[in-house]
Amino acid sequence: EPSLYAVKAIIILDNDGERLFAKYYDDTYPSVKEQRAFEKNIFSKTHRSDSEIALLEGLTVVYKSSIDLYCYVIGSAHQNELMLTAVLNCLFDSLSQMLRKNVERRALLDNMEGLFLAVDEIVDGGVILESDPQQVVHRVAVRGEDVPLTEQTVSQVLQSAKEQIKWSLLRW
C-alpha cells in the first residue's frame, strides 16, 4: 500500500559497526536495545558486501560506504528502492559537500550539527522532503548562520560585527 512515510530509519555506523548516528521514524524497533541489535545485524550482513541493497527482517535496506563510514536508509519491504537510494545519495552527497569531500568518521564527528540539520532537511517523520543535495547544503548553511550569539566563536562574532559595521557605513 503506497504511503508518504517512505523512510523507517537513517543510520550511520563506523567501520566497527558502532552507531554514530541513528534516527528511527516509526516504532518497528521501539527500544534502544532492539535498535542496536538491528544495527549489528545489518552491519554484519553488509560490511563485506559490494552490493547496495539488502532485504533484512522484512525491511529494504540501501547502503553506501566511504572510508570508515556506512550509511543506511531503511524502508519497508514494499518501498521503492529507487526512492530510498535517492535519499541515501542525497544524504551522502550533502555530507560530501559539507565535509569538503572528506566523508570519514573524524570529519563527521566534528560536524554532527550539520549532519542533524541535513537529515532533518531530507526526511521529516519518515516523509521524504528533499532529494537535491545542493538545496540541502544551502538550507543547512542558512540555518547555520542563525546561531545564537552565545554559541558563536569569537571569530564568528567579530566577522558578524565587521559586516554590520560595513553595511551601516554603506547606508550613509
pLDDT in tens, the chain (172 residues): 667 888 999 999 998 989 999 999 998 899 999 999 999 999 998 888 777 888 888 899 999 988 889 999 999 888 889 999 999 999 999 988 888 887 888 888 888 888 898 999 999 988 989 888 888 888 888 765 655 555 556 666 677 777 778 777 776 5
- The pTM (predicted TM-score) of the whole model is 0.78
Any idea what DSSP says for residue 151? G
Q: List the beta bridge partners of residue 59.
A: 56, 76
Segment (H or E) for 24: strand 19-24
Could you give phi then psi for residue 49, rounded to 5 degrees? -95, 145
Residue 50, all three cell numbers:
559490494
Residue 129, all three cell numbers:
522532503
